[in-house]
């Protein structure tokens, strides 16, 4: 059997697959980021290490040891580790906004655009560069104690095998020359982070390599030493592989915490508007053009919390409204870090408009779900979709919501094989490197196809046009200089009567 580990933002999972691609067992543990207030969000690396040991032991219980282990997980954030792979401070999550002012400074100075012109990757607040800049200012002692500025899956690899490496998919943003697949010293210089080069892990050549599970890894997981463990790729690339994206122009929409829309490409374009990611694939001549918007299921979570509803009620609520939400509309930019795709704006904020006393709870849910569907179209078109499009993620479990996405796109949606698309992609990448023969078509066969309702094409084309107009208008307002507020005049107390 083959084991895939997926280190999500809020969940750690292990999935055991047969050689034919059947998912035999899944184990999961929650790993919730901690909000410190003021937009600061951190995670406990040791909690995740413990969770990895638990899910691997549970998923493999009663089964023969896996032939190979593949790891994928959330990218970005800043996981500062010592030489033994232990955290020197709590990890700064990719959801954290303390990098916002540094990113804004780079945008204003032209450094942001200059980096994109070198590697076709747009820096966003939760990536390594702004978080390093923030800690240089706010916690320089932690940087001085650190041996590695790691990514989560690479930290777990180090704890399982002792290897200190990263792969080109994770390293693509922000410091990599994605053609040579090695760090670009000029990018570090542009950002004023040359002194951070010592913290960067060596980048493995494509398609990566496997390392043997060592004694510490065996003790943690309950598996025998020597099992090959593959490091990478990170979750956007792994999900694309697990969903069956193989031809240039094909794409994937992940309706998860992040609304990640991505398209496989064979070219690098550094001349376009500086936005999105261009991530190295395991093949030397392929990249994933990704638009990971911050407007996924977290936006729906917000409105459900506001109206006191649960995820299990979403389809029923959508059935109580209708396309167009009876006039209610939304912009789904509720993340404290602003937006990163298909435009970058740290000031981006959400809104709900068109409300009246006749607006219902169901209309609010419909408006937010439609806004995320419009954002998906905005992102996947910006990424260059030309072929088939697949869909996965927790939001895709709602039949009504995924039908809405198909209607907005006016394209068939191929449902990626479930469960655990990311772990499936990690398993496929690991088998490739380990030389284990497998039937790629069987592993990635879609579960079904959602055909768009052609009768809704005109309605949703008009709705998408309004959405784009609203985004353009809002961006002008978000970035308009605010007039200074006059000081309040101290009034004399009212005389007693």
pLDDT tens, residue by residue, 97-127: 899 999 999 999 999 999 999 999 999 888 9
Listed residues 215, 238, 261: the one ending a domain: 238
Say whether both 225 and 253 belong to one domain: no
Any idea of the CA torsion for 199, 50, 60, 64, to the nearest 10 degrees?
60
Query: Between the CA of residue 199 and those of 49, 132, 193, what are the distances in Å?
Result: 21, 10, 11
Domain assignment present for 487: no
Say whether both 375 and 232 belong to one domain: no
Domain assignment present for 496: no
Domain assignment present for 352: yes
- pTM for the whole thing? 0.91
pLDDT tens, residue by residue, 274-297: 999 999 999 999 999 999 998 888
Say whether both 225 and 258 belong to one domain: no
Say whether both 296 and 227 belong to one domain: no
Percentage helix, strand, coil, to 5, in the chain?
40, 20, 40
Say whether both 90 and 219 belong to one domain: yes
Say whether both 288 and 249 belong to one domain: yes
pLDDT of residue 340: 85
Structural domain range at position 380: 245-415+447-478
Say whether both 264 and 134 belong to one domain: no
Count of structural domains, the chain = 2
> Is omega for the bond preceding 342 within 30 degrees of 0, making it cis?
yes
Task: Assess contact for 80 and 132: CB atoms under 8 A.
Answer: no
Say whether both 308 and 217 belong to one domain: no
Residue 228 CA to residue 161 CA, distance in Å, equals 9
Domain assignment present for 184: yes
CATH number, domain of 156, equals: 3.30.420.40
pLDDT of residue 497: 42
Domain assignment present for 434: no
pLDDT tens, residue by residue, 48-96: 999 999 999 999 999 999 999 999 999 889 999 999 999 999 999 988 9
Say whether both 265 and 402 belong to one domain: yes
pLDDT of residue 336: 80
Domain assignment present for 160: yes
The pLDDT profile of the chain, 497 residues, written as one tens digit per residue, is: 999 999 998 899 999 999 999 999 999 999 889 999 988 999 999 999 999 999 999 999 999 999 999 999 998 899 999 999 999 999 999 889 899 999 999 999 999 999 999 999 999 888 999 999 999 999 999 999 999 999 999 999 999 999 999 999 999 999 999 999 999 999 999 999 999 999 999 999 888 899 999 999 999 999 999 999 998 898 999 999 999 999 999 999 999 888 999 999 999 999 988 999 999 999 999 999 999 998 888 899 999 999 999 999 999 999 999 999 999 999 999 988 788 899 988 889 999 999 999 999 999 999 999 999 999 999 999 999 999 999 999 888 899 999 999 999 999 999 999 989 999 999 999 999 999 999 999 999 999 999 999 999 999 999 999 999 999 999 999 987 755 545 545 545 545 54
Say whether both 202 and 257 belong to one domain: no
Listed residues 238, 257, 273: the one ending a domain: 238
Residue 92 CA to residue 360 CA, distance in Å, equals 38
Say whether both 215 and 264 belong to one domain: no
Domain assignment present for 113: yes
Task: Assess contact for 391 and 382: CB atoms under 8 A.
Answer: no
Say whether both 187 and 263 belong to one domain: no
Domain assignment present for 432: no
Task: Assess contact for 402 and 453: CB atoms under 8 A.
Answer: no
Listed residues 171, 203, 238: the one ending a domain: 238
Residue 312 CA to residue 394 CA, distance in Å, equals 12
pLDDT of residue 485: 47
Residue 309 CA to residue 472 CA, distance in Å, equals 31
What residues does 12 pair with on adjacent strands? 7, 29
pLDDT of residue 493: 53
pLDDT of residue 337: 78
């Amino acid at each position: 059997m083959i084991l895939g580990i997926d280190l999500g933002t809020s969940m750690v999972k292990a999935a055991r697959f047969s050689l034919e691609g059947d998912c035999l067992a899944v184990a999961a543990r929650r790993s919730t980021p901690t909000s410190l207030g003021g937009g600061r969000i951190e995670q406990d690396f040791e909690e995740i290490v413990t969770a990895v040991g638990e899910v691997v032991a549970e998923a493999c219980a009663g089964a023969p040891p896996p032939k190979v282990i593949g790891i994928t997980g959330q990218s970005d954030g800043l996981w500062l580790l010592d030489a033994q792979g232990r955290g020197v401070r709590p990890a700064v999550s990719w959801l954290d906004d303390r990098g916002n002012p540094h990113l804004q400074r780079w945008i204003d100075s032209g450094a942001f655009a200059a980096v994109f012109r070198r590697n076709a990757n747009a820096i966003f607040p939760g990536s390594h560069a702004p978080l390093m800049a923030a800690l240089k200012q706010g916690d320089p002692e932690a940087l001085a104690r650190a041996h590695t500025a790691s990514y989560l899956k690479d930290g777990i690899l180090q704890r399982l095998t002792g290897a200190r490496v990263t792969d080109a998919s994770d390293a693509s943003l922000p410091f990599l020359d994605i053609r040579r697949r090695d760090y670009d010293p000029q990018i570090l210089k542009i950002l004023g982070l040359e002194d951070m080069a010592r913290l960067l892990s060596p980048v493995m050549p494509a398609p990566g390599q496997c390392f043997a599970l060592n004694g510490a890894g065996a003790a943690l997981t309950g598996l025998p030493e020597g099992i090959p463990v593959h490091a990478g790729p990170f979750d956007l690339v792994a999900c694309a592989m697990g969903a069956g994206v193989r031809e240039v122009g094909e794409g994937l929409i992940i309706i998860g915490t992040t609304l990640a829309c991505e398209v496989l490409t064979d070219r690098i374009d550094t001349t376009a508007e500086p936005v999105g990611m261009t991530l190295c694939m395991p093949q030397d001549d392929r990249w994933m053009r990704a638009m990971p918007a911050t407007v996924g299921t977290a936006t729906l979570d917000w409105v459900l919390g506001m109206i006191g509803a649960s995820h299990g009620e979403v389809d029923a609520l959508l059935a109580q409204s209708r396309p167009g939400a009876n006039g209610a509309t939304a912009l789904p930019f509720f993340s404290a870090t602003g937006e990163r795709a298909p435009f970058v704006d740290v000031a981006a904020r959400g809104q709900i408009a068109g409300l009246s006393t006749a607006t219902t709870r169901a209309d609010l849910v419909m408006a937010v779900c439609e806004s995320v569907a419009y954002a998906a179209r905005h992102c996947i078109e910006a990424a260059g979709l030309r072929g088939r499009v697949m869909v996965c993620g927790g939001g895709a479990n709602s039949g009504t919501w995924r039908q809405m996405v198909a209607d907005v796109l006016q394209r068939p949606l191929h449902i990626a094989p479930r469960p655990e698309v990311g772990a499936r992609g990690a398993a496929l990448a690991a088998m490739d490197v380990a030389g284990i023969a497998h039937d790629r078509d069987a592993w990635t066969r879609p579960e079904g196809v959602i055909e768009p309702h052609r009768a809704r094409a005109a309605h949703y084309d008009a709705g998408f046009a309004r959405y784009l107009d609203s985004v353009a208008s809002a961006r002008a307002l978000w970035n308009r200089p605010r007039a200074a507020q006059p000081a309040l005049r101290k009034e004399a107390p009212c005389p007693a009567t």
